Every structure is written in C-alpha cells, then in structure tokens.
Amino acid sequence: MNRTKVLAPLWVWLGLFVLLPVLIVAALSFSTAVEAVPPFTPLLQQPDPANYALLTSDTYYLDAFLKSLLIASVSSACCLAIGYPMALAIARAPERWRSLLLLLVMLPFWTGFLLRITAWIGLLRDDGWINLAFGWVGLGPFKLLYTDLAMYIGITYAYLPFMILPLYARLSRRDPALEEAAADLGATPWTVFRTVTWPLSVPGVAAGLALVFIPAVGEYVIPELLGGPSAQTVGRALWNEFFSNRDWPMASALATALLIVLLVPMVLLRTRE
C-alpha cells in the first residue's frame, strides 16, 4: 500500500509525459497529411497504414535507418575504446584525485551543447586549428568538416561522458584483490584484464553502450552541423518530413518506427536476463 503511494507520482509523471505523447505520435502516424491547421486528418477516424507501407518500401527511409544504426554503432564503439581506459584510470587513481577527475569529465556540460558543436566547426574547418597544426609539420590541409569523420568526432566527443560515468561507477567498485589473485596465479597484466577486469565490468559496458547508442541513433544536430550531405540519418529525415514537407504523419511514423527499432532489442535483452 505504502509502496503504491510512493510510486504514484512517478506513474502519473510517466503516464502524462511519456506514455501519452508516445500514444499521440503513434495515432498521428496513422493519419494523412493535409493543407490545413493542424496539417493532418483527425486522429483515429480513418486509421491508414500508408505511411508505414511507404516506410518499408522506399529505400530512402530504409537507408536512413541503416545509416543511423551504423553511425550509432561506430560512435558507441569509439566512445567505449576511449572511455574504458579513462574510466579505469580514474577508478585506479588515488582516492583524493578521483572526484576532481570526474568533475573534469563532466565539465563540458557546463557550456551549451550547440556552442560546443559549433566550436568543432572552428577546429575542423579547412583553415581551422587542426589543419593549421597539420600545416606546421608540412601536411594537409585536409578536408575534415562536412565529412563522416567530423560527424563521428562530434558524436564521440558529445557522448563520451555518458560512457565514462556508468563505466566508472562499475569499475570503482571492483575488488583489487581479484586482480592480484589473477596475477598471483600466473596471469600477465593483459590476461588479468581479459579474464577478470573486463568480464566483471560488462554490466557497466552495457549501460554505457545503451546510454550512447540510443540517443546517437536519433541524433540530428551533429550530422547536420558537422556531417556531409551523404549522412542521411533518421534524425535528418524526420526533420525534413516535419519542417520541410509539413508531413507530420510521416514524421510520426518515422519516430514510432525508431522507437520500435530501439525498444524491441532492449526488451528481448531484459527478458533473457
């Protein structure tokens, strides 16, 4: 009884601000775009799956999904490759240093997201600081801005803290005696990592990957500002439907499909546990 009372505000919040909007978007995805205000036929009067038919038949949308999943996968892998050593180093640092190092990881959050991404434009431009540095050693200039590379750099940079924090939370609770025991039994430092440190940190890795992968799939701003025209992601397709084509139902269908693509594997993963 008490439990229900305590959880009631949470359920009301989730119902009002998560479930209800999702249901509206889902309903919207079954209507049709019209020249009117609002720009769609009344909800739930004549449910029409035409948007989904188009979604699955037109390769434009399919490619956008695949591209988004690819970008999110590569970015998550980059975040893991950079974030794991950092999280481990912080977890192994002397106690008094740890909070300072964590603070430095979170420091970028203190400035605006758009500002930080725009700063990367200045760094990556043909005459930007990075090409300037290449010039000093007699290389370049390289075309960096508006390429996939720039987009990956931007996404990895923006989401790295979301990888480091759950990893650190997991790694800081590891028992150093286990690593000592492995070394004692003949494991080289690399084998200690492979057989003990890494397997015991897998829940943190999973949490970090989820926190990076899920928002990266729907990411719109970074591919738009740093990426090339070939980076046609779901986020950009959605933006185009919504603002350029004023096709709200199609945009809703894309959003719903994205939700399903992300939700189904997670539910499967949870039930398997």
Partner 1 sequence: MADVSIEDLTVRYGPVTALDGLHLTIGSGELFVLLGGSGSGKTTLLRTLGGFIEPASGRILLGGRDITGLPPHRRPVNTTFQSYALFPHMTVADNVAFGLRRQGASRAEITERVAELLELVRLGDFARRKPDALSGGQRQRVALARALAPRPRLLLLDEPLSALDRGLREQTRQELIRIQQQTGTTFVMVTHDQDEALAMATRIGLLHNGRLAQVGTPSELYERPASRYVAGFMGNDNVLPARALAPGQLELEGVGPIQADVDVPATPFWVAIRPERLRLVREAARAPNTAAGTVLTAAYFGDSADYAIRLDIGATLQLVQPLSAGFGSGLLAPGSAITVAFPPDALTILAE
User: Does the protein bind partner 1 through residue 195 (CB under 8 A)?
Assistant: yes
Which segment (39-47, 48-56, 173-181, 207-215) binds partner 1 by CB under 8 A?
173-181
Which region, judged by CB under 8 A, interacts with partner 1, from 11-19, 155-163, 172-180, 223-231?
Answer: 172-180
Helix (H, G, I), strand (E, B) or coil at 41: coil
β-sheet bridge partners, residue 40: 33
| C-alpha dihedral (52, 56, 61, 63), degrees to nearest 10 | 160
Q: Which residues contact 42 (CB under 8 A, 6 or more apart)?
A: 31
Least separation, in Å, of the C-beta of 195 and partner 1? Answer: 7
> What's the one-letter identity of residue 152?
Y
Q: Choose one: 49-57, 121-129, 165-173, 192-200; the region binding partner 1 (CB under 8 A).
A: 192-200
Least Cβ distance, residue 201 to partner 1 (angstroms): 10
> Could you tell me the smallest distance in angstroms from the CB atom of residue 116 to partner 1?
38
Report CA 199 to chain centroid distance, whole Å: 23
Q: Does 181 bind partner 1 (CB under 8 A)?
A: yes
**DSSP assigned state of 15:** I
Q: Which stretch binds partner 1 (CB under 8 A): 80-88, 161-169, 171-179, 255-263?
A: 171-179
Asked if 116 contacts 108 with a C-beta cutoff of 8 angstroms, the reply is: yes
Residue among 175, 265, 266, 269 that touches partner 1 (CB under 8 A): 175
- Note whether 172 binds partner 1 by CB under 8 A: no
In the list 56, 111, 118, 191, the residue contacting partner 1 (rule: CB under 8 A) is: 191
Is residue 86 a contact partner of residue 105, using CB atoms and an 8 Å limit? yes
| CA quadruple 120, 123, 126, 127: dihedral sign | positive
Nearer of residues 185 and 206 to partner 1, judged by Cβ: 185
* Residue in 12, 20, 185, 269 binding partner 1, rule: CB under 8 A: 185
Q: Which of 19, 58, 30 is nearest to 232 (CA)?
A: 58
Contacting residue, 184, 206, 266, 267, with partner 1 by CB under 8 A: 184
Tokens of 144: 């960096």
Whose structure tokens read 């090339």? 228
Contact positions toward partner 1, by CB under 8 A? 175, 177-178, 180-188, 191, 195-196, 199-200
